[in-house]
Amino acid sequence: MQPPDIPATALADPVPAALPVPTPPLLRAALGRFATGVTIITCAGPGGAPVGLTANSFSALSLDPPLVLWSLRQASGSLAAFDASPHFAVNVLAESQVDLSRRFASSQADKFAEGAWGAGLGGAPVLAGCAAVFECEVASRQVAGDHVLFIGRVLRLADLSVAPLLFQGGHYRMLGEVL
């Protein structure tokens, strides 16, 4: 039986005989097919100044012990702050927080001027109204390609009953009908 909305020709040969070499543009386009949640990852920087950025490289890693991971480009200006901080917070954005996602993805100077922020563990800023928040202690850091992987042990969390913001194919998306 054919799934709905998929042409029969697309199912006949799902993988071409000769796959292209994964260049960065091709890899980015193919990875963009995968829908992800949108987060603002935060920490207390040098002197306690808040540091944050938009990331969709967040993932669950382990339930026991409770571990999550995310990655940051080695070329990021925020890397030194996250490297030095023993804690970080993952603020999983709600659908209503698109503007904050764009703000924290920009090079704007005072990113924390918008949103209702409070201090989490280790001073990592925590955003009110998120779909979820994970307050973490850094368990490990590891260089992987052009990124650094941050693995955090979840020490506290908040889970609100609001729809999360999604990103797919270079665009923000909202959840559709739940099946």
Q: Residue 107 carries which side chain, given as an amino acid letter?
A: S
Domain boundaries, the chain: 42-86+106-167
- What single-letter amino acid sits at 157? L
Taking only the tens of pLDDT, the chain with its 179 residues reads 444 555 555 555 566 667 778 888 898 888 888 889 999 999 999 899 999 999 999 999 999 999 999 999 999 999 999 999 999 999 999 999 999 999 999 998 899 999 999 999 999 999 999 999 999 999 999 999 999 999 999 999 999 989 999 998 989 998 876 65
CATH code that applies to domain 42-86+106-167: 2.30.110.10
Q: How far is CA 70 from CA 5, 22, 73, 138, 144, in A?
A: 34, 22, 10, 11, 12
Map residue 97 onto helix, strand or coil.
helix
59 and 70 Cβ atoms separated by less than 8 Å? yes
Q: For residue 33, report the phi and psi dihedrals to the nearest 5 degrees.
A: -70, -20
Q: What is the pTM of this model?
A: 0.86
- Type of residue at 103: R
DSSP-assigned letter for residue 115:
S
